[in-house]
Each structure stands twice: as C-alpha cells, then as structure tokens.
C-alpha cells in the first residue's frame, strides 16, 4: 500500500503543513484512519505511540473544523491521560494546523488554572485536555461541551490504567449525542472494548502493529542470566556500558519499584514510573531524566508509552515481554534521529522461548552481550 498524503483527500493547506514537517508518506495508521475520519465516520483504532497516531486523528479533525464556520464555541475535544501527552498533542495541532485559523487551548491539572481560564475566554475551536482538570473547569462554568462535533479519546487503555475511566464517562455524558468519535487505544482489555462499544456508532476499525524498523538501527545484545542474578548483573552491565540515559523495562509496577530502589542502593540514580505514581512524581522523574540527574528510569510498558525523551542511550529489557512486538517497540525508544542506541535484553532460562519469538520477529539471532571495549 503505497499511498501519498494527497491521495488521502487532504487539503492543500494540510499538505503544505506536512511538507514543512518533512513527512513524505503516511504511516499505516494514517493511511487507514484518515479517509474514514475525514468522511465523518467514527473510528476505532488500535495503535501505540510512535505509529503516527496523533496525525491520524488531528489531520482529519483540523480539516473538518476548517470546513465549517467558527461558532465561538468548542467544536472539537481531544482527551489525553497525561499532561505530557496533552501538551504534545496541542503542539502537534499547531504544527499540522499551520496556515489554518483553528484556535487551540490546552488544559491539564497540576498547575494553576488562571492561564487556562484566559485561554478558554479566547474562544478556542479545539480543546486538548486531561479529564480531571476539564471536569473542574466544567463544574466552575468555564467550559461547555454542548457544541462539540468531534471527540477524540486518546490512549483509552492508559486512562483505565490511571483510574480515569469514570472521569472520561462523565465528560462523555456532557457531549452531544450526535457527534463524531475517534477512539484510540494500544490495547483492548474488556473494559475498553465495552467503553468503545458504548461510545461509537458503526466505526471504521483500524489496527496497526509498531514499526519494526527500530530493530535495524539499534545495537542489540542479550545477557543470559539466572533469574536470581538478574539485578546484580544489571548493575554490572550499566557500569560497564557507562550508560547515560537508560530506560529499563519491567513487567510489573511492583517490580519497577523494587528494581529502582536496588539500583539506587548500588549507587546508580534510578526512579520508577508507572500508573500508580502521582502526576507530579512522574513529572519530577521525567525532568530529572531529561536533565541527566536521574540516569535510569524503570518503567512498565503502559507508563513508558507517553514518554517522549530524546537521547536515550540504552534500553534494557529486564524482563522479556510476552508479545514480541513489544520488544521492538521498547528498543525503539533509543537510537532515534540517527544516533546509535544500545539495547540489552536479560534472558533467564524460563524466558528462552520468548527470546526465540523475538528473534523470529526481527529475523535474526541476537548476539550475547560483552562489555564495550
Ligand atoms: P505519534 O505516534 O503520533 O506519537 O508520532 C510519532 C512520531 O512520528 C512523531 O514524532 C511524529 O512527528 C512522527 N510522524 C508522524 N507521522 C509521520 C509521517 N507520516 N512521516 C514521518 N514522521 C511522522
């Protein structure tokens, strides 16, 4: 499927904005979701971060807003689970909406609301928000959603993981019934499938797997270890690698906490991030990681999804994922923008079969780790 952006029916203005961004061809999610969304259909999309999903919903959303006349009311709402993600979406809306007259406002919790009240007073067409602060502002009468024509729910599964599903339902109940809904989630546990079923009418269904290209640009090795030696070995490896900004993946939140504590005790500054942590704790960890004061972030897959940090030097799979695509997705966090990243997988005896599945997916055998010379 070799589509171009212009074959998807996008306007000249959008095409110019995309050219400015340097995007040449649509990603698979864009190739499949943009047309139905542009035509006004509901969309149910299964896609992770990194697939180009943001443009897949923003491009049609912005175009549909441009087709109708500004009413001075909020005509489109994008809900996102975290402040970082909401900010990224608003930033992307400005980029993809370059040359349009669409006004965007961004609201999220954890900061004073005054500036957000001012932004709302300027009568935005598009509102990008996290659910808790949005409900606060609605209750105080700063926001009305009864003119919303297009609603996007981004990272629905993470909303669930962070305990926001009830808030999401309350927001949805304030929206007009007649509207277009674009529903995005990376995974579909039963509660999410149910929510989608309630919110969508005859949706176009679109599903993509993460890009497998990271597997080619990242230097990958595997450490075969006994399960009981994993932690000690990780300390050794991180020291030998002189790893600067390292993302370590564990399967459970609990495991992430314990590992971060043990690394810190061994003198390697580490923090865990996952859905149980408060927004401000997550923010602090991320800022420290960006600034270099925290060398290691220990994360679960769901928590890591919203993180966009450049300059990750190493990705460690402390536990191998059960779904091989997840491995590819994890290691794609390093080696971005031409830099070579290093990915190290820890594999104990029970994980051998998982390693073989991964090797089958990426089409090669991962060589054993040795200390860099
Ligand atoms: P997302 O999955 O929406 O977080 O997007 C992942 C990254 O891919 C972002 O940095 C986008 O700027 C970039 N991106 C999105 N669509 C394209 C495209 N068609 N070509 C090149 N890069 C893209």
pLDDT-based confidence at residue 214 (cuts at 50, 70, 90): low
Atom of ligand 1 nearest to the CA of 95: 12
pLDDT at position 210, please? 53
Tell me what the mean pLDDT of segment 217-227 comes to. Answer: 92
Nearest to 356 by CA among 328, 319, 316, 324: 324
Are 65 and 97 members of one domain? Answer: yes
Residue 273, in any domain of the structure:
yes
pLDDT at position 243, please? 84
Q: Where in the sequence is the domain holding 105, given as residue range(s)?
A: 6-207
Are 187 and 274 members of one domain? Answer: no
- Give the DSSP per-residue string, 314-350: EEEESS--SSHHHHHHHHTTSS-TTPPEEEEEEE-GG
pLDDT-based confidence at residue 339 (cuts at 50, 70, 90): low
Q: Ligand 1 center to residue 238 CA distance, Å?
A: 30
pLDDT digits (tens, 9 = 90+) for 241-281: 988 899 999 988 889 999 999 999 999 999 998 767 777 88
Q: Ligand 1 center to residue 52 CA distance, Å?
A: 4
Nearest to 343 by CA among 369, 325, 362: 369
Which secondary structure element, helix H or strand E, spans residue 44, and what is its range?
strand 43-46
Q: Is residue 305 predicted with pLDDT exceeding 80?
A: no
Nearest to 152 by CA among 256, 73, 52, 79: 79
The finding on whether 82 has its CB within 6 A of some atom of ligand 1 is no
**Residue 297 token pair:** 């972030």
Atom of ligand 1 nearest to the CA of 27: 19
Sheet holding 270-273, edge to edge: 218-224, 341-347, 314-317, 246-249, 296-299, 270-273
Q: Is residue 359 predicted with pLDDT exceeding 60?
A: yes
Q: Is residue 213 predicted with pLDDT exceeding 60?
A: no
Q: 300 phi and psi, to 5 degrees?
A: -90, 165
Are 13 and 140 members of one domain? Answer: yes
The finding on whether 55 has its CB within 6 A of some atom of ligand 1 is yes
Residue 367, in any domain of the structure:
no
CA-nearest residue, atom 11 of ligand 1: 52
The finding on whether 211 has its CB within 6 A of some atom of ligand 1 is no
pTM attached to this predicted model = 0.64
Are 233 and 196 members of one domain? Answer: no
């Amino acid at each position: 499927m070799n589509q171009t952006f212009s074959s998807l029916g996008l306007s000249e203005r959008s095409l110019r904005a995309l050219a400015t961004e340097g995007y040449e061809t649509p990603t698979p999610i864009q190739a499949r979701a943009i047309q139905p969304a542009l035509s006004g259909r509901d969309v149910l999309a299964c896609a992770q971060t990194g697939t180009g999903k943001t443009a897949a919903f923003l491009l049609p959303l912005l175009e549909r807003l441009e087709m109708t006349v500004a009413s001075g009311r909020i005509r489109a709402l994008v809900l996102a689970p975290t402040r970082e993600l909401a900010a990224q979406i608003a930033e992307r809306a400005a980029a993809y909406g370059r040359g349009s007259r669409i006004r965007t406002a961004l609201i999220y919790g954890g900061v004073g609301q005054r500036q957000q009240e001012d932004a709302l007073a300027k009568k935005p067409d598009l509102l990008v928000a996290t659910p808790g602060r949005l409900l606060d502002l609605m209750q105080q009468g700063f926001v009305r959603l009864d003119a919303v024509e297009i609603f996007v729910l981004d990272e629905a599964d993470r909303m669930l993981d962070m305990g926001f599903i009830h808030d999401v339902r309350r927001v949805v109940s304030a929206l007009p019934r007649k509207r277009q809904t674009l529903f995005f989630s990376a995974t579909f546990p039963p509660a999410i499938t149910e929510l989608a079923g309630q919110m969508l009418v005859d949706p176009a269904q679109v599903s993509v797997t993460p890009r497998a290209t990271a597997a080619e640009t990242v230097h990958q090795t595997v450490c075969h270890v006994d399960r009981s030696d994993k932690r000690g070995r990780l300390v050794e490896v991180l020291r030998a690698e002189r790893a600067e900004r390292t993302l370590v993946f564990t399967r459970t939140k609990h495991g992430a906490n314990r590992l971060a504590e043990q690394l810190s005790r061994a003198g390697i500054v580490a923090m865990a991030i996952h859905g149980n942590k408060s927004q401000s704790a997550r923010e602090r960890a991320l800022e420290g990681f960006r600034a270099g004061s925290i060398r290691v972030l220990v994360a679960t897959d769901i928590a890591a999804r919203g993180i966009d940090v450049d300059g990750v030097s190493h990705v460690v799979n402390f536990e191998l994922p059960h779904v091989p695509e997840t491995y590819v997705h994890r290691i794609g966090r390093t080696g971005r923008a031409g830099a070579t990243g290093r990915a190290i997988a820890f594999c104990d005896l029970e994980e051998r079969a998982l390693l073989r599945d991964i090797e089958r997916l990426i089409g090669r055998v991962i060589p054993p780790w040795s200390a860099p010379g």
